[in-house]
Amino acid sequence: MKPEFLGGSPDRWCIIEDPEQARLILRSSSSKVFEALLARERTLSDLKAELGMSLENLHYHIGKLLDHDLIEVKRTIPGPGRPLKVYSTLYQAYDIPFDLTPYEGAYEMILHQQEQVARRIARNYAAIMDEVGFRSRRIYFDEETGQVSSHGAPDPRAPQAELPESLGHDFTLDLKLSQQQATELRQELQDLMEKYRRMTLEGRPYLLSCVMCADVSGT
Amino acid sequence: MKPEFLGGSPDRWCIIEDPEQARLILRSSSSKVFEALLARERTLSDLKAELGMSLENLHYHIGKLLDHDLIEVKRTIPGPGRPLKVYSTLYQAYDIPFDLTPYEGAYEMILHQQEQVARRIARNYAAIMDEVGFRSRRIYFDEETGQVSSHGAPDPRAPQAELPESLGHDFTLDLKLSQQQATELRQELQDLMEKYRRMTLEGRPYLLSCVMCADVSGT
C-alpha cells in the first residue's frame, strides 16, 4: 500500500493502532514536538529554537514520544562534550482511525483544530486594534459587494484614523458552485498557498488561513 | 462626518449609544433579522424566504427591533387584503463602540465571530467525511510544501477511496511579509472574494472563509 501523495516506500507509512499514540499525536502537550519531528531530524537545541520551549519541557515530551515508539534517535553528532542526539519520527506519515482519537467524532476533532485557529485570529485582531487605537465595531451593507460587512474602526467621534489595510483582512462567503467551479476555487487556494508559503524569511509575521468546504448547514 | 466607504450622506450613518441596541445588533437572536434589513427593504414574507424563520419568530424580532428604533416601516404595498409593510433599518451603517458591546473586549467579540465560522466548518467537514466514508485522520510532512499537513482520509485498510478534492480544502500558514507583500496578499484575497461572491445562483452550496492578519502570537 503506497499512499500516492508520499511518492515514497510503504515502510514510511504507519497506521496507528494504540489510543495513547493517537492522543500523543493529536491532542497532547507533546503534539507540537511530534509535529516538529515528523519526517525531519532535529536536535534538542533545534527544537528549543523552533518551538521556544524550555529544555525541561522538551526532555519531558521527547521522553514520552520515545516511550511510545513515535520517535527515535536517528543518529548522533560527535561534539566537544557528549554526542548530540538527532531525533525524528519513525515514519513519514501517520493514519489515525477516528475511533482511536481522543475525540467523540469527526466534528469534535475538526472543531478543536478550527477553534485553535479562531483563537489565534482573535488574539491577533485584538492586538492589532489595540495597536492602532480602534475602539469601535462598524457594521454596514456594502453595496459594491452585496454583503453585510463588519470590522474594527476608529473611534467614530474622531474618525480621522486610517484603516490599517495591510494588517488584516477577512471574509466569509456563501457560494453556490458547480463541481468544476469548486475544483477551480480549490486550485486557486492551492496556488495562493504555494505562492505565499515561501515567504517565511523576512518581514512581519502573518497568519493566513483559508477554508473552502461544501456547506451542509443550509440543506 | 462622512465615512469614506459609504460615499453617502452623513444621515445614513449612526453611532450607537444604547447598550441594548448594541446587544440587539451584535449578539441576540434578532441580529440575523437586523442584518437582513440593514440598508435593504424587506417584507415579512421576504424575510421568511431569506432566513427560513417562522412568522411567529419574525414577528417577535421585528417587534423588538422596532421598539428599539433600529428598524422602521419604510412604506406599505397595497394588496388584496391588508397592505404589506416594508421594513428596513433607519441607517445604512452602524458604529458600535466596544465599551457598549456585550463582550468583555475586542478579543471576546472577534473570538465569538470566529468560533461561529469554526463550528460551521467543522459541521461541514464532518458531514463531508461521513458522506465519502472517511474514518481516519492522516497527518504527514509534505516535502513539496514544507508543511505538516493533515486531513480526513479513507480507512487505511481499504485506501482505494478517492479524496473528494472538490468538496473541501483548507490551509493555515505562518508567513513573514513586508508591508508591500501584505498589501498584495490583501488585494489577492479581495480579488478572490470579488470573483467568487457573484457565484451565488446555481450549484452546490459552499462556504469560503479567508483570514490574513499580522501575527502577534510569536512576538
Largest CA distance in chain A: 68
For residue range A165-206, what is the model confidence (pLDDT) as tens digits? 678 888 888 888 998 999 999 999 999 988 988 776 788 899
Interface of A with B in 71-130 (CB under 8 A): 92-99, 101, 105-111, 114-115, 117-130
C-alpha span between A67 and A84 (Å, rounded): 19
For residue range A101-150, what is the model confidence (pLDDT) as tens digits? 888 888 998 999 899 999 999 999 998 888 888 888 888 887 777 778 88
Are residues B217 and A117, on separate chains, in Cβ contact within 8 Å? no
The closest alpha carbon to A43, from A70, A17, A68, A75, belongs to: A75
**The predicted structure's pLDDT at residue A11:** 61
From the list A123, A192, A207, the residue facing B188 with the nearest CB is: A192
ipTM of predicted assembly, 2 dp = 0.78
Alpha carbons within 13 angstroms on the beta-carbon side of residue A95 total: 21
DSSP for A76-126, please give it: EE--SSSPEEEEEESSSEEEEEGGGSSSSSHHHHHHHHHHHHHHHHHHHHH
**The predicted structure's pLDDT at residue B7:** 40
User: B60 to chain A, minimum CA–CA distance in Å?
Assistant: 22
**What domains appear along chain A, each with residue ranges and CATH number?**
10-100 (1.10.10.10), 106-168 (no CATH), 173-197+205-219 (no CATH)
For residue range B147-180, what is the model confidence (pLDDT) as tens digits? 788 877 776 655 545 556 678 888 888 888 998 9
Q: Given a cut of 60, is residue A80 above it in pLDDT?
A: yes
C-alpha span between A123 and B211 (Å, rounded): 13
Residue of B nearest to A178 (CA): B203
Query: What does the block give as the cell for A35?
Result: 509535529
Are residues A182 and B194, on separate chains, in Cβ contact within 8 Å? no
For residue range B43-67, what is the model confidence (pLDDT) as tens digits? 999 999 999 899 999 999 999 999 9
Task: Let me know: does A179 contact A158? Beta carbons within 8 Å.
Answer: no
Interface of A with B in 44-73 (CB under 8 A): none
Q: Given a cut of 90, is residue B146 above it in pLDDT?
A: no
